[in-house]
Amino acid sequence: MVGLELCLLLSVLVWLLLSAPPRPSLTTTPDLSRLTDEIQGRLSGLIIDPVIEVKPGVFVRSSNVRGFHYEGNVYYYYIEGVPNYDPLSRGLLRPDQVEIMLRDDSGEQTIVIYRVQ
């Protein structure tokens, strides 16, 4: 009797694993160097990115809070070692809910770029 129940349980488990819908894939990965250039342009002021007040006396680029659209996706970023106001840094997202696209440490500041899965 226990063997029959075990076989039934295993067959249900296999069925569930095989019939689960595939995880939706994100669109193709963009050219990451161009994506980095987009962020560097925003941080340097070459690309218009208005500053917004996130709390009294604290102003940040709107792209740091809201992300920015690039090739059909919304990307977010944070700069390591400084306060950030992106959704991941504010705790609105968990690390398992984002896909880290790039950790760029080639400049003065390390920038981490991600998108929501």
d(CA 41, CA 35): 10
Amino acid 25 reads S
* pLDDT at residue 24, as a whole number: 47
* pLDDT at residue 96, as a whole number: 94
pTM of the entire structure?
A: 0.70
Q: Give mean pLDDT, residues 50-72.
A: 93
Residues in the chain: 117
Per-residue pLDDT at 98 exceeds 90: yes
Mean of the per-residue pLDDT values of the chain: 85
Taking alpha carbons only, the member of 89, 88, 82 closest to residue 43 is 82
Per-residue pLDDT at 108 exceeds 90: no
Per-residue pLDDT at 88 exceeds 70: yes
Angle at 95 between CA 75 and CA 17, to 5 degrees: 105
